[in-house]
């Protein structure tokens, strides 16, 4: 919430900067920092208020009570498909965040060399070293190894409430071919899929994998969104009509839900647009998108359970579980990021934010 005197002060600052009254450089930087942090002067804030989701109530409504009668697994079983030679942090961040938020079981399906590293970060995660990259597979073996990889994941598929595809996946062509098959299997089994990171690289070049699947969520960052807009809408990102463009994009991909990450997170399923701009932090360390994908997986699973059990009596809006999952995941990550930043300031890292996921 920006108090009135802040707004007046910032309006004056804005005008001073625009009219080039030339304050000293350090003062100018500080003024611009304040304007950025307080979010004044932009269309975003205007739009933010009109489209802002009721995230506190949504979070409360979809989070299940801690009921002693429930057994392990009922609060959610998620799987992350990601982790290769280069990236072991991203799948770990996504999978551990799911557990910290309240899922019961969190699996990671990664390459053989990434597995021991990810296991060593945490004994809580169930790590499957099943994915293969081109360098470790001869041309003649590709078909049978591909079938084996897909079968390994498929044998677990029915047990998962949600898959997160892409954090730290890498872009090896053979590995991405196998992951395409895994997405198809998830779709056949009606398992929701969150596509992030390199999963978006794969899907942007093969939209048929998710097009028309209402249980698919895409979570692009600034680069990933740009590529998606160029590919699908054949134009550049238009920030003057951010809401309209996001709506068209989600509609064009057959009603998938898209969470466009940024200063204010924008979410659309092709029917409506909602924003989450509460809290957040000015620290942009890598890995926050990975926390988000793991969080959305859990909230989407909870929202689906609630909608199924409630038989349409749910009083919150929107009603689409993918929209609810995105709103809750975004709000919780942003709250945790702001709490971590209060403590750690510029030295805030992704692991600090994960520690704040359970704090109020």
Cα(303)–Cα(322) distance, integer angstroms: 8
83: partner contacted, choices ligand ATP, ligand NPW, Mg ion, none (Cβ within 5-8 A by kind): none
Question: Applying CB under 6 A, does 231 fall inside the site for ligand NPW?
Answer: no
The DSSP result for 64-96, as a single string, is PP--TT--TTTT-EEEEE---SS-SHHHHHHHH
Cα(350)–Cα(357) distance, integer angstroms: 11
Q: Give the dihedral sign, CA 231/234/240/246.
A: negative
Q: Which of 80, 90, 291, 357 binds ligand NPW (CB under 6 A)?
A: 90
DSSP tag of 110:
E
Taking the complex as a whole, the smallest distance from the CB of residue 286 to Mg ion amounts, in Å, to 8
Which two tokens mark 278? Answer: 């509460």
**Residues whose CB is less than 8 angstroms from the CB of residue 150 and which lie 6 or more positions away in sequence, other chains included:** 178, 181, 182, 185
Question: Applying CB under 6 A, does 221 fall inside the site for ligand NPW?
Answer: yes
288: partner contacted, choices ligand ATP, ligand NPW, Mg ion, none (Cβ within 5-8 A by kind): ligand ATP
Q: 13 or 216: whose CB is closer to Mg ion?
A: 216
Main-chain phi, psi angles of 201, to 5 degrees:
-60, -45
Cα(7)–Cα(16) distance, integer angstroms: 14
Contact 184, 314 (CB under 8 A): no
Q: Which of 132, 133, 161, 224 binds ligand NPW (CB under 6 A)?
A: 224
334: partner contacted, choices ligand ATP, Mg ion, ligand NPW, none (Cβ within 5-8 A by kind): ligand ATP
Question: Applying CB under 6 A, does 39 fall inside the site for ligand ATP?
Answer: no
Q: 204 or 288: whose CB is closer to ligand ATP?
A: 288
Q: Which residue from 360, 336, 328, 358 is spatially nearest to 59, judged by alpha carbons?
A: 328
169: partner contacted, choices ligand NPW, ligand ATP, Mg ion, none (Cβ within 5-8 A by kind): ligand NPW
Question: Applying CB under 6 A, does 91 fall inside the site for ligand ATP?
Answer: no
Question: Applying CB under 6 A, does 76 fall inside the site for ligand NPW?
Answer: no
Stretch that binds ligand NPW, among 7-15, 167-175, 204-212, 251-259 (CB under 6 A): 167-175
Contact 322, 300 (CB under 8 A): yes
The DSSP result for 327-349, as a single string, is HHHHHHHHHHHHHHHHHHGGG--
Stretch that binds ligand ATP, among 172-180, 279-287, 302-310, 313-321 (CB under 6 A): 279-287
Question: Applying CB under 6 A, does 288 fall inside the site for ligand ATP?
Answer: yes
Stretch that binds ligand ATP, among 129-137, 169-177, 267-275, 330-338 (CB under 6 A): 330-338
Taking the complex as a whole, the smallest distance from the CB of residue 264 to ligand NPW amounts, in Å, to 18
Question: Applying CB under 6 A, does 287 fall inside the site for ligand NPW?
Answer: yes
Which two tokens mark 76? Answer: 């959610």
Torsion of CA 305, 310, 315, 318, to 10 degrees: 40
Helix, strand, coil % in the chain, rounded to nearest 5 = 55, 10, 35
Residue nearest to ligand NPW (CB): 89
Question: Applying CB under 6 A, does 283 fall inside the site for ligand ATP?
Answer: no
Main-chain phi, psi angles of 37, to 5 degrees:
-65, -40
Taking the complex as a whole, the smallest distance from the CB of residue 203 to Mg ion amounts, in Å, to 14
Q: 172 or 269: whose CB is closer to ligand NPW?
A: 172
Question: Applying CB under 6 A, does 230 fall inside the site for ligand NPW?
Answer: no
Stretch that binds ligand NPW, among 24-32, 283-291, 300-308, 313-321 (CB under 6 A): 283-291
Q: 249 or 303: whose CB is closer to ligand NPW?
A: 249
- Helices and strands (H and E) in the chain: how many: 14, 9
Residues engaged in binding ligand NPW (CB under 6 A): 87, 89-90, 167-171, 197-198, 221, 223-224, 286-287, 289-290
Residues engaged in binding ligand ATP (CB under 6 A): 197, 221, 261-263, 265, 280, 284, 286-290, 292, 330, 333-334
């Amino acid at each position: 919430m920006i108090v009135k005197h802040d707004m007046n002060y910032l309006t004056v600052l804005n005008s001073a900067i625009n009219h080039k009254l030339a304050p000293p450089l350090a003062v100018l930087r500080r003024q611009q920092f304040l304007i950025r942090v307080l979010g004044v002067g932009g269309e975003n804030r205007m739009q933010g208020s009109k489209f802002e989701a009721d995230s506190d109530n949504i979070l409360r409504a979809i989070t299940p009570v801690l009921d002693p009668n429930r057994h392990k697994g009922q609060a959610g079983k998620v799987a992350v498909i990601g982790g290769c030679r280069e990236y072991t942090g991203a799948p770990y961040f996504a999978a551990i965040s799911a557990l910290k938020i309240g899922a019961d079981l969190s699996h990671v399906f990664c390459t053989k060399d990434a597995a021991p590293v990810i296991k060593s970060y945490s004994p809580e995660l169930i790590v499957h070293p099943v994915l293969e990259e081109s360098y470790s597979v001869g041309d003649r073996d590709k078909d049978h190894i591909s079938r084996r990889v897909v079968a390994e994941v498929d044998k677990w598929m029915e047990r998962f409430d949600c898959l997160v595809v892409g954090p730290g996946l890498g872009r090896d062509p053979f590995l991405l071919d196998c992951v395409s098959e895994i997405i198809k299997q998830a779709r056949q089994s009606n398992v929701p899929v969150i596509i992030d990171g390199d999963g978006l690289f794969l899907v942007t070049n093969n939209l048929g994998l998710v097009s028309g699947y209402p249980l698919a969520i895409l979570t692009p960052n600034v680069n990933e969104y740009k590529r998606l807009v160029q590919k699908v809408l054949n134009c550049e990102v238009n920030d003057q009509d951010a809401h309209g463009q996001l709506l068209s994009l989600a509609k064009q991909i057959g009603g998938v839900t898209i969470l466009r990450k940024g200063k204010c997170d924008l979410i659309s399923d092709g029917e409506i647009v909602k924003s989450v701009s509460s809290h957040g932090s000015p620290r942009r360390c890598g890995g926050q998108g990975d926390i988000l994908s793991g969080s959305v997986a859990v909230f989407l699973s909870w929202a689906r359970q609630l909608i199924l059990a409630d038989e349409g009596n749910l009083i919150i809006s929107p009603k689409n579980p993918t929209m609810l999952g995105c709103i809750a995941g975004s709000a919780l990550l942003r709250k945790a990021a702001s709490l971590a930043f209060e403590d750690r300031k510029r030295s805030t890292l992704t692991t600090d934010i994960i520690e704040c996921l359970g704090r109020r």
